[in-house]
């Protein structure tokens, strides 16, 4: 087994344990969030970047689902297209539009940002993009996959960067390692930020606009 496969397997087992621990404790997950958005806005089409074993994809209640992963650990899911490609390869030839796009592929700032920019192009007007792993709770968890990280990576930098543009509205829901929900709606630009874990740790709420699940549910 090569280094990348080992990394992928250990991240898979950690997530599996966290998922079942969360379900037993009644904690909300990315799956609850995505299904809540689909129900609330009556979304019909869903794209997931990075599907692994389909733990999330198979639980999403949407009539039209597509999953993209260069190394999927599942061959088929009912009513779902599974595409064995990297996100870059997929977006290069993609002509479809989607209501909700979930970005959970390679956990590096650079790739998550490229995935976001490509996702914006493929998003329906009233759609939403969700990005996973935006709120690492320790420096160790925030190490980029390109530098040997195994957990959230430095995807939080992608959220900070997007908030600095002012072209999008982002809320990061404080569940399941932080799930950023992004709308194509301008908002105030985040100013005077730094792209490092220390700055995130001291400015968590402001940096990624962190809100609780309860406040998210109450929001219009």
Q: Which residues bind ligand SAM (CB under 6 A)?
A: 8, 11, 30, 48-52, 55-56, 68-71, 86-87, 104-106, 111
Q: Which residues pair with 80 in a beta bridge?
A: 65
Shortest approach of ligand SAM to residue 71 CB, angstroms? 4
Nearer Cβ to ligand SAM (43/190): 43
Residue facing ligand SAM at closest CB distance? 50
Shortest approach of ligand SAM to residue 91 CB, angstroms? 9
Nearer Cβ to ligand SAM (41/71): 71
Shortest approach of ligand SAM to residue 88 CB, angstroms? 6
Measuring CA to CA, which residue among 204, 8, 210 is closest to residue 105? 8
Burial grade of 56 (CB within 10 A; 0-12, 13-18, 19 or more): buried
Measuring CA to CA, which residue among 77, 23, 17, 7 is closest to residue 48? 77
Measuring CA to CA, which residue among 83, 76, 45, 82 is closest to residue 61? 45
Nearer Cβ to ligand SAM (45/190): 45
Nearer Cβ to ligand SAM (150/206): 150
Shortest approach of ligand SAM to residue 211 CB, angstroms? 21
Shortest approach of ligand SAM to residue 165 CB, angstroms? 22
Residue 28: φ, ψ to 5°: -80, 150
Nearer Cβ to ligand SAM (2/198): 2
Residues 6 or more apart whose Cβ sits within 8 Å of residue 152: 107, 133, 134, 135, 136, 141, 142, 177, 178
């Amino acid at each position: 087994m090569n280094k990348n496969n080992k990394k992928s397997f250990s991240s898979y087992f950690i997530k599996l344990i966290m998922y079942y621990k969360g379900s037993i404790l009644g904690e909300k997950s990315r799956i609850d969030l995505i299904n809540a958005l689909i129900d609330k806005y009556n979304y019909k089409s869903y794209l997931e970047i990075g599907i692994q074993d389909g733990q999330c994809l198979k639980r999403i209640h949407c009539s039209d689902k597509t999953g993209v992963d260069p190394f999927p650990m599942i061959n088929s899911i009912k009513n779902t297209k599974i595409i064995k490609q990297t996100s870059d390869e997929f977006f290069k030839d993609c002509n479809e539009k989607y209501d909700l796009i979930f970005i959970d592929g390679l956990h590096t700032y650079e790739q998550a940002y490229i995935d976001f920019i490509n996702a914006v192009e493929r998003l329906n007007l009233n759609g939403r993009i969700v990005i996973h792993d935006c709120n690492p709770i320790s420096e160790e968890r925030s190490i980029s996959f390109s530098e040997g990280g195994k957990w959230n990576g430095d995807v939080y930098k992608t959220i900070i960067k997007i908030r600095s543009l002012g072209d999008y509205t982002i809320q990061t829901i404080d569940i399941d390692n932080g799930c950023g929900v992004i709308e194509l709606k301008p908002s105030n630009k985040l100013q005077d930020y730094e792209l490092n874990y220390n700055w995130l740790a001291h400015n968590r709420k402001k940096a990624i606009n962190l809100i609780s699940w309860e406040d998210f549910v109450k929001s219009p």
